[in-house]
Amino acid sequence: MAKRSKSSHRWVARQRRDPYARLAAADGLGSRAHFKLEQLDRRFGLIGPSMRVLELGAAPGGWTRYLARRVSPAKGGRVVAVDVRVMDVPAGVRFIQQDIHDDSFVARLDAALGGGLQLVLSDMAPNISGVKAADQAASMALVNLATDAALRWLNPGGHLVVKMFQGGGVDDWVRERRAEFEKVLLAKPDASRSGSREVYGVALDFR
């Protein structure tokens, strides 16, 4: 058997110390991401049983499983989850395997959604190269794709939550969104790693 690298050993040790990683493993949630969305939902009251929700960057499914518990198709709610990777999909969720860069993305989502949304969520992140400027630009490109989706499909009063990395482009994003939403801010859930640059842009009450 191949020996683990030092970085692999550090990752395993960090996971063992991490209370959210341990909780996710114990509850079969796949990742700590479930707790990030739960904390954002509790803080901002994002999700209700009758809401229509689009989730971008759904794999491996931590947010999707939380949404499946909170949104009820019996009450008119609907969750459409999108990712380029295959994933296990909870009951009641419509999954679309799609690269959002593809030209067919908008037409396919138009057909799947069949109407406007109350919430757009994005947990998309780029493959990290280690070159900070390039990684930041790639992150903001995904942020802008999620924002375009929100501006296209959100109903008035709807919300947008999108992952981003603190750095260039974030302040501009906040300023621009304030022309379109009643309240815009950055939030870092307790379940995010303390040393991470990860934050979530939260834009509430689309005009």
* pLDDT tens, position by position, 72-100: 999 999 999 999 999 999 999 999 999 99
Is the model's pLDDT at 30 over the cut of 60?
no
| 84-140 confidence digits (pLDDT tens) | 999 999 999 999 999 999 999 999 999 999 899 999 999 999 999 999 999 999 999
- Report whether pLDDT(12) > 70: no
Closest CA relative to residue 142, chosen from 128, 159, 157, 158? 128
Among 31, 27, 16, 38, smallest CA distance to 190 is for 38
More confident residue, 15 or 42: 42
Give the side-chain half-sphere CA count within 13 A for 72.
Answer: 5
pLDDT on residue 31: 62
Residue 6 is predicted with a pLDDT of 58
- pLDDT given at position 193: 81
Active-site choice (3, 6, 132, 163) = 163
pLDDT of residue 25: 46
- Confidence (pLDDT) at 185: 98
Distance of alpha carbon 124 from alpha carbon 118, whole angstroms: 19
Q: Is 183 a catalytic residue?
A: no
Site of tokens 């190269």: 129
Q: Name the CATH superfamily for 31-206.
A: Vaccinia Virus protein VP39 (3.40.50.150)
Select from 142, 99, 148 the least CA-distant residue to 120: 148
Contacts of 26 (CB under 8 A, 6+ apart): none
pLDDT at 173 over 90: yes
Residue 21 has pLDDT above 90, yes or no: no
- β-strand partners of 80: 54, 94
